[in-house]
Amino acid sequence: MARTLKAIIDSAALKHNFAKVREFCPHQKIIAMIKANGYGHGMINVAKTLSDADGFGVACLEEAVQCRAAGISQRIFVMGGFYEAKTELPEILRLNLDLILHQEEQVINLIRFLNTVQNKNTLLPLKVWIKLNTGMNRLGFKPQHFAPVLHCLSQHPLLQIEGFMTHFANADKDNDPLTPQQIEIFFKTVQGLPGVKSLANSAGIMAWSTAHGDWVRPGIMLYGISPLQNRHGAMEGLKPIMSLTSTLIAIQEAKKGEIVGYGGRYVCPTDRRIGVVAAGYGDGYPRVAPDGTPVLLNGRRVPLVGQVSMDMIMIDLSSQPAAKVGDPVLLWGPGLPVEEVAAVVGTSAYELLTRLTTRVPLIW
């Protein structure tokens, strides 16, 4: 029999969450963000399920190549642009990708590259977007550096400037003062320019309606997770799409004062029945999970006890004396929001999902 740990993905819930984006943004086009293997859910299956999306967002060319190889024909947006002109730009043209430009070297190297290609190349013009740094200080041109970049790119006969983007740092925070500033700076900088405007990630879509622009870029909300602080997806009408499920694979009777797991972090305060679950940090379950991290055993909450191992965790069966080997365990999913597990563990749902390892089968 195969190991019982699996991530079961609910494609109907994914479609439901996409429909939720449409409800928030009935007039916008939607770039479904599928980078990092579709936030750990399987990039190609996510894209195929969301065939109504107007485009897909990936981090890098390698991800776009995989999408095109799998027959994804919608527009694909390469958020990080390119790293090496000579090798990547011919591929970007051949695969008809939308290229996001965010720093000066990219612009210089792109222009240099275009000067070497044939005007008759039928794959041209190349579709580019200019990314603005409106306050996050990650990717993008500062507004004061924008005019020369725009000038240089818009002059070029082999380029088509599709639009302008920016990204929010704090859109998940209620009453955050930076987000309205970012919105204002962005619209002021691109005012009157032809080309479409794209600002909003999931938090922007849900919490900042003035930031919807022309194209929105939902990621985490598609996967059923609330981007907003101290909330979870079900509170927003989103459905979790991943159930990370396993089973009890062994039971131990531990006496009062005995330890459980590596290092003896957990000491039994009384005699305890301890359940062993097939799921560990080798699967991407967080090693830093403390005693008390919730899991669902037979649909009811029980606490993790002892240090997470590579292939296993242990749980306290005190509240379920009838528990037996083979009983189902949910690590996160419907009934146990990954947002809640992330909060207990001290990380984000984004990280828990994207760091599941290839050992975990994704069952659609």
Decide whether 41 or 167 has the Cβ nearer to ligand PLP: 167
Question: In this structure, how many other beta carbons lie within 10 angstroms of the beta carbon of residue 102?
Answer: 21
Binding residues (CB under 6 A) for ligand PLP: these are 33, 35, 79, 167, 201-203, 217-220, 227
As measured in angstroms, the least distance from the Cβ of 238 to ligand PLP is 12
Single out the catalytic residue among 35, 127, 131, 197.
35
Q: Which of 327, 231, 322, 236 is nearest to 276 (CA)?
A: 327
Which residue number is nearest to ligand PLP in terms of Cβ? 219
Does residue 285 have an active-site annotation? no
Q: Smaller CB distance to ligand PLP: residue 202 or 247?
A: 202
How far apart are the two ends of the chain, measured CA to CA in Å?
A: 20
Burial annotation 6-44 (CB, 10 A radius, 16+ → b, else e): bbebbeebbbbbbebbeebbeebbbbbbbbbbbbbbbbb
Return the number of the residue (124 or 169) whose C-beta is nearest ligand PLP.
Answer: 169
Question: Which is the catalytic residue, given 142, 188, 262, 324?
Answer: 262
Nearest distance in Å: CB 216, ligand PLP: 9
Q: At closest approach, how far in Å is the CB of 206 from ligand PLP?
A: 9
CB of 158 to ligand PLP, least distance (A): 25
Pairing mode, strands 29-33 and 55-58 = parallel
User: What is the C-alpha separation between 191 and 338, in angstroms, rounded?
Assistant: 40
Residue type at 103 in one-letter notation: Q
Q: Which of 40, 42, 84, 76 is nearest to 59 (CA)?
A: 76
Nearer to ligand PLP, 198 or 293 (CB): 198
* 35 in catalytic set: yes
Contact 18, 32 (CB under 8 A): yes
Active site amino acids = 35, 262
